[in-house]
Structures are given as C-alpha cells and as structure tokens.
A and B are shown apart, each in its own frame.
Chain A
Amino acid sequence: MATAADIDAAPFERFLILEASLLDTRRFREWMGLFAEDGTYWVPALPDQEDPFGQASLFYDDRDLMKTRIDRLEHPRIHVQTPPSRTAHLVGNAIVEEADEAKGEYLVGSTFIMVEYRDDQQRVFAGHQRHRLRRDGASFLIVQKRVDLINCDSAFEAMAVPI
C-alpha cells in the first residue's frame, strides 16, 4: 500500500483551489455541496484545540448549521454583509498527510491566506488547514475541514463568510 508521502498532492490541491474559488465567488450552496452528509466545518478558537465539544470555537458547523448559515448569508437583511465581503483565497503547500487508499480517505494539509475587503476595510486571515476527504468518483467529498487561523485566539471584528 502506498504511503501518504508517495501520493501526488496535485489532484488534492486542485480540489482545494476549486473549494476556495467557490467561497471567493460566494457560491456558498455549491461550497456546501462539497461536504459529505456527515461533513463538518470547524474553525477552532484555540491553537491545537483537541475537539469542538468541550471548548468554544469560531465556527463548528454540521450540514444543518451550514445551511442555516448560508440561508442567512443570502438573506436580504443580513446587516453585517451589507455591503457583502469580497474575498481572495490563496491555497498552497498542499501535502497528503494520511491516506487510506482502500477506503479512499485522505487527510490533506495546506496553508492558506484569505484577504477580505468590506466597507472600506481590508483584513487578512491566514493559517493552516486540514481537509479530511473521501473519494467520490473523480472528485472528493469533505468529511471535515479544519481551519487553524494563526490568530485563532485573538479578538475579532465580526466575521460572516466562511474562511
């Protein structure tokens, strides 16, 4: 069996770039469609946070919460998105950290930078992300996306769009 280090990261990186482009173009429903039915999106509020259950997190959405979040993002009276954010993601340094080819499950680490502009203000989010992916035909489904912001435990101005 091939070890994770032998696996070409390029197809995974292409998937991550596609995912980021859906966020940058505000196609949030299509973005949600990349997640498995049991998929979760997690942005911890602590470095090295062990789990999302015993400690506060910035985001911890299952598909139900993701849908509520996106319903709100599309609501005409979401004040914190009036005007809406514009974002640009840069994703790189992708590496397959774990692989189970038999099950078609992979853990892919990468580094990201997201610049957000809204209402005359620009700010930068950056960190490391880990995607737990499940092979789905020619593509993948996200089982978990974990985003570790380098400043995850700082005080933030309001955030509305997923990172």
Chain B
Amino acid sequence: MNERKGHAERLICCYHGWNYDTDGKLMGVPVPEGCCDGFDRADFNLARAPRVGEYRGFVFASLSAHGASFEDHIGPMKGNIDDLVDRAPDGALALDAGMHRYVFSGNWKLQVENVLDSYHVPFGHASTVNKAGVQFARREGDRKGAEVIETGKQQTASTWKDRKSFTVGNGHGWTSNTTLDDSKRSSAAFDEYKRALAAKVGADRAAEILKPRLHNSLIYPNMSIMGLNIHVRVIKPLAVDRTEVTIYPIRLLGAPESMNSGNIRLLNVTHSAASFVQTDDLESFVRTQKGLHSQQTDWVDISRGLGAEEPDRELNATRGLATHEMVVRAQYRAWVGYMREAA
C-alpha cells in the first residue's frame, strides 16, 4: 500500500490490476480466460500475519508462525498497558494525533536499550538541564521538571539513583516513576481531568490510577510506553545500521481536550525529530554505531549491577536499580534466545 491512510473497498495492484478485498481475499483477476486449468483464486490471497493478538485495543502481530503464545509473551506486561489505558476516564485511548517519525544510522537495539536506561540521562541529556540540575517540566500540571543532577555537585541526583527497574522475562522491563512531587501537580486542565476520572471510577480508584508507578515500559522487542509525557513508540529495524522509530501521541478519551493538547505539545518538545531530548539520544546512537563498526574494541560492558538483582514478590518481577543494566542484560538474553531458535 502506497498511502499512509485513506479508505478503499478494494486493494488493486497497480501493475496488472489483481484486486483484493480488505481482508486480503483475491476478488478479481483481469482477463480470467488466460488463467490455466485449475487456477483457483483462493490460492492467491494476500499474505496473513501468522499470529495476531489484541489487548485493550493494541494489536500485536508476529510474522513467525512459531514462538511463545501471545498470552505467554504479552501477559507479564498487561499491567503496564492497563496503567496507561486506565488513565483515560472513558477507559480507552485514541492514537489519532499524528505521529513523530525519525530515523538514525544505527542498530535498532540502541533505541530499545535506551528507553529503559536511566544511567545516561545526566550526560546524554546535559543540554536539557538548567544550572540548578533540573529539567524542564514534562507533564501537564507540573511547575518544574525532574531533578537530574545534584545541585552544585555535577553528579547524578540521588533521587534519580534511587529509581528502580524491573524485568519479567521475554526481554520486557520497565522503570519506576520519577521523583516528581505529585501533591504539587496542578493546573486547570489537570484538575479538571482528575475530576473527570474520579467521576467515572470513584475517588479512591482515581487516586490509585494516578499514583505514578511507571516511567518507561518496554514490550520487547519493539514497543515502548512512556508514562511521563505519555506516548507509544514503535521501533522498526530497516537495516543492521538503520532504524526508524514512530512515536504516537496519546489522547486519553474522556479527558479535557486542553489536557490532551498540552500533552501533544509537550511531546513535540521531547520526542519530535527536532526535539530537545530525543535528538541527543539519536546523536549518541549514531556515534555508538560508528564506534562499534571499528571492531577495535571487543567489549560492550553491560555488567552494572550484576548480582544486585532481587526478587519483587509483590510485582512478580526482578528488581534492580534503574541506573544498573539489568534490563539491558534481560533484552540480550531474550535476543540470544530468538537468534538460537532461528539458527
């Protein structure tokens, strides 16, 4: 298909005019009298994704007929999807606010590692932090952003160092909330949103939903959900050293439009191809790829926090510090497993 969006009753091949129903069924072949005996249209339907699963409106597809079941693969991350969708007073999201698309000359795993990496922030994003070590505000209703660098010390803020990360197998993981003060979070739009949510689900449940638990969640291998300025990211490898990323702003259905548009505007600032945050990550990915290409260094160390992981029985997960690299090791463990299966 050549268009990003639109409506059509039939998909018609531009070359010889074979045309298909929207479910991929071959409906018409021009000059059918030329077809040989035994030609059966049913043999020439469009390819199907062998396995498709859906959870709360998110559709996941696998191009492989084999592998873990949808439930086994996505199951441990359902709570993270719930955490996002439950924030909508109407219990549903709309991903209809356009998208940010960026590409970089680097391997897809660089972006995947990055979404859960809390070690890089004071360095990779130094240019977004003011002299007091504080980043610009990133959520509706916040007066200032997270403290990233300890004031006057030029080192990672202790509140940041205390953040946790979690793994649950399959390469998935998430990082816990930032240390923003939610009791001070307030604006006309945010207060109206809180009222709308409480009206739908009750005050207690609304308070529970709004408790900031998650920063970034990674649904391995190629999707992330960000809780800070909410969006969904899909990571697509184009070549071994070329990756395209699509970022979808989220509208919480039932939330005031001013709150949703505030989020859309913030996402321009943090994650457009011209944003303050994402661009320095992209530069880091490109430089890393160049460095790896040299092959003169035979190490990539991801051992931070090795042995310091501990079970989190309440969350049924393994817990580590977010500045450690437990999540990266979990990703490579899953990746090596897939590569072995494929070999």
A and B found bound together: yes
Chain A residue numbers with a CB within 8 Å of B98 are: 45-46, 49, 55-57
Chain B interface, number of residues (Cβ within 8 angstroms):
40
A-B contact count (CB 8 A): 103
Residue numbers in B under 8 Å from A60 (CB-CB):
265, 268
- Interface positions, chain B 89-121, Cβ under 8 Å from A, are 97-105
Interface size class of A (residues with CB under 8 A): 20 to 34
* B-binding segment of A11-19, A27-35, A65-73: A65-73
Residues of B129-172 whose CB lies within 8 A of A = 130, 136
Q: Is the CB of A80 within 8 A of B282?
A: yes
A56 touches B97 (CB 8 A): yes
Q: Does A158 contact B (CB under 8 A)?
A: yes
Residue A157 at the chain B interface, CB threshold 8 Å: yes
Contact status of A158 and B127, CB under 8 A, knowing A54-B261, A56-B264: no
Say which residue of B124, B272, B279, B284 sits within 8 Å of A56 (CB atoms): B272
Interface check B222, CB cutoff 8 A:
no
Kindly report which residue of chain A lies nearest to residue B282, judged by CB atoms. Answer: A158
Q: Is the pair B274, A58 in contact by a Cβ cutoff of 8 Å?
A: yes
Give the residue of B124, B130, B261, B278 whose beta carbon is less than 8 angstroms from that of A158.
Answer: B278
A75 contacts B by Cβ under 8 Å: yes
Task: Note all chain B residues with C-beta closer than 8 A to A53.
Answer: 261, 264-265
B128 part of interface (Cβ distance < 8 Å): yes
Which residues on the A side are within 8 Å of B4 (C-beta)? 153
Task: Using CB atoms, name the residue of chain A closest to B249.
Answer: A56
Q: How far is the CB of A39 from chain B (nearest CB, A)?
A: 16
Cβ of A92 under 8 Å from chain B: no
Q: How far is the CA of A65 from the CA of B261 in the complex (A)?
A: 16
Q: How far is the CA of A26 from the CA of B136 in the complex (A)?
A: 23
The answer to whether A45 and B99 touch (CB under 8 A), given A58-B268, A75-B127, is yes
A87-128: which residues lie under 8 A (CB-CB) from chain B? Answer: none
B272 to A58, Cβ gap below 8 A?
Answer: yes
- B283 touching A158, Cβ below 8 Å: yes
**Cβ-based interface call for A78 (8 A):** yes
Contact B268 A57 (CB under 8 A): yes
Chain A, Cβ-Cβ closest to B262: A53
Residues of B within 8 A of A156 (CB): 101-103, 273-274
Given A65-B269, A71-B130, A158-B278: 6 more A-B contacts, CB < 8 Å = A53-B261, A55-B98, A58-B273, A68-B269, A79-B287, A157-B102
Residues of B participating in the A interface, judged by any CB pair closer than 8 Å: 4, 97-105, 123-124, 126-128, 130, 136, 244-247, 249, 257, 261, 264-265, 267-269, 272-274, 276, 278-280, 282-284, 287
The 7 A-B residue pairs whose C-beta atoms are closest, nearest first, are A156-B273, A56-B98, A155-B101, A78-B127, A55-B98, A77-B126, A75-B127
